Chains A and B, each alone.
Chain A
Amino acid sequence: MTNYAIEAHGLTKSFGQTQALAGIDLEVPEGRVLGVLGPNGAGKTTAVRILATLLRPDAGTARVAGHDVLANPAAVRRSIGLTGQYASVDEDLTGVENLVMIGRLLHLSSRDAKSRADALLEQFELTDAGRRLAKTYSGGMRRRLDLAASLVGHPSVVYLDEPTTGLDPAKRDDVWNMVRLLVAEGTTVLLTTQYLEEADALAHDITVIDHGRVIAHDTPLGLKSQLGGQTLVVRPADVAELPRVTALLAEVGTRDPEHPSDDQVSVPVTGDDALVRTVSRLAEEGIAVTELSLRLPSLDEVFYALTGRAQQTADDASALETEGAAA
């Protein structure tokens, strides 16, 4: 029998007229990483806030680390660590002070809080910056400090709400590595993200949500095959070659090639040999290219594949979700 660290059924939540969650089920087995994938306003943050006891659901039940979020929020809080969408570190305190304060609030002695802070700073490569005010930190350092702050109490369940949004790729890789360390220690992680690439890199399972509903739940591999695998993009050196490249990609692709820009051709592909076949065909035809890449579908493409419609950028809903989070 599987033990679930997070088990939520039929969660609903409305803010005024807007329904942020329309009945969501989430399950995360102990020690696993669930990626919750969705656009702005899909309800990701609302779900995390409910599971972190910051918000009450209108209906539905949720158990975290074996405790009901409504009946026993105090026990839930003892088991969780929360890293918000915006790094919630105290800017006027140093890195050390931020972590020591949380340690003290978790009833560690002064000395234990200090040594826990030092250990976390080292783990997150912030030892040198530990004595500086957090307001002098770069975006990536703040995220790392925020992540460290959520781990002071050795939580068994950690929520990462869009941990890399707004970070450049190098900083993003740093955060990913930290998350992998966490998972290696057996922590259960619920990760929300707008990037399939991130969910693919970190999660054991992915739940895709849209407009407050689950529209897909699968392993990364399963989801990718459901989406038609990856996308191959080619940019010929000479724009005049576009028709030939298009014809060539039609042979390797699973659908008709598209033109994402004036000088590019893209096509969904499956199988491991798509790239190799494309390269050899291009060589045979003697076509020079300036760009050739294989990438995962973007969130837009995921939604197109799952729902058959272009994803509406849910700006209204996202504005309301932020409002709800602030209220």
Chain B
Amino acid sequence: MDALILAKRTVTKMVRNPEQFIDVTLQPVLMTVIFVFIFGGAVAGGTEQYLLLTLPAIVVQTIMFTSMTIGVNLNTDLKNGVFDRFRSLPITRSAPLIGAVLGDIVRHTIAVGVSLAFGALIGFRFHTSPLEVLFAIVLMIVFAVSLCWISVFVGMIVRSSGAVQGISFLVVFPLTFGSSAFVPADTLPTWMQGWVAINPVNHVIEAMRGLLVGPEYMAGDTTVTGQVLWVLASCVVLVGVFFPLATWAYRRKI
């Protein structure tokens, strides 16, 4: 309940600072243009086929970046004294953190919406049922909410918000590029294929391909159900590890 009140605060602040939406709106557009039109020809011999493979990956990549901004925002909040007020109130200790994570669902939803809409504008079409698409979107947001906790944890332990940003990029890059996002995984060196196999983001990307354009666009030995279960398991692990760490780091400040 406390968390919902604070989630409302996060959303209100977001709406009042529309420039905060620049990253979630422009970034997927830029990424799509860069990857599809610059690399598409070289990697897949044409943009059309490559768009079908890459757009689901770009949506996931966008979500990764929007999940990382929360740590920066919380780190700033901690400094300007607003959290002192929250902490001096008789509310659930973790409520300010949960509230921020829940409020950020709005950002994730916008990010997914813009990515898919821009994809559609340049020729991407869903090859699956509306129900599967809806499930894909929900799954992606669940993943984003789970991934957020890494950023929240970093935001709680690092001193400056600039450092939070730096560390977040270090987290995002190996997760995004160490996957089949932009190139077929079997073109990668063997040691890196080992990482791809366990990289949760790779499983999200495969699941998105399966749910948005169909199983025939997934890597050879995978199934939609299998990938979805992988994603859900990753979410449990992410929350199971980073939620306690983040709340511990937050309480440690008391």
Contact = CB atoms under 8 A, between A and B. Distances in A.
Indicate the member of B8, B78, B88 with the most A CB atoms within 10 Å: B88
Indicate the member of A54, A55, A81, A87 with the most B CB atoms within 10 Å: A54
B88 A105 contact: no
B9 A90 contact: yes
Contact of B81 (A52, A77, A86): A86
Contact of B16 (A56, A80, A87, A133): A133
A84 B16 contact: no
A92 B16 contact: yes
A106 B81 contact: no
Contacts of B82: 88-90
B88 A80 contact: yes
Secondary structure at the B interface, as helix, strand, loop or mixed, is helix
A154 interface: no
A86 B86 CA distance: 15
B77 to A, nearest CB: 9
Contacts of A56: 254
Contacts of B186: none
A104 interface: yes
Contact of A88 (B2, B9, B80, B254): B80
A82 B13 contact: no
Contact of A93 (B9, B89, B90, B254): B9
Contact of B13 (A74, A80, A86, A93): A93
Nearest to A107: B1
Interface in B79-118: 79-82, 84-91, 95
Nearest to B12: A93
Contacts of A326: 78-79, 159
Contacts of B16: 92, 133
A86 B80 contact: yes
Interface in A149-173: 149-150, 153
A292 interface: no
Contacts of A78: 90
A160 B254 CA distance: 19
A97 interface: yes
A258 to B, nearest CB: 40
Interface in B6-60: 6, 8-9, 12-13, 16-17
A80 B12 CA distance: 27
A231 interface: no
Given A53-B254, A105-B5, A77 B85 contact: no
Given A52-B88, A53-B254, A101-B5, A90 B13 contact: yes
Contact of B89 (A85, A86, A92, A106): A106
B80 A82 contact: no
Contacts of A97: 12
Contacts of A84: 81, 84-85
A88 B12 contact: no
16 contacts: A53-B254, A54-B88, A56-B254, A77-B89, A82-B88, A85-B81, A86-B81, A87-B81, A88-B80, A88-B81, A90-B9, A101-B5, A101-B9, A104-B5, A105-B2, A106-B90
Interface of B: 2, 5-6, 8-9, 12-13, 16-17, 78-82, 84-91, 95, 159, 253-254
Lowest 8 A-B CB distances belong to which pairs? A88-B81, A77-B90, A92-B13, A82-B88, A78-B90, A92-B16, A104-B5, A88-B85
Given A92-B13, A102-B85, A149-B85, 9 more contacts: A53-B87, A56-B254, A84-B81, A86-B80, A88-B82, A101-B6, A102-B89, A105-B89, A326-B79
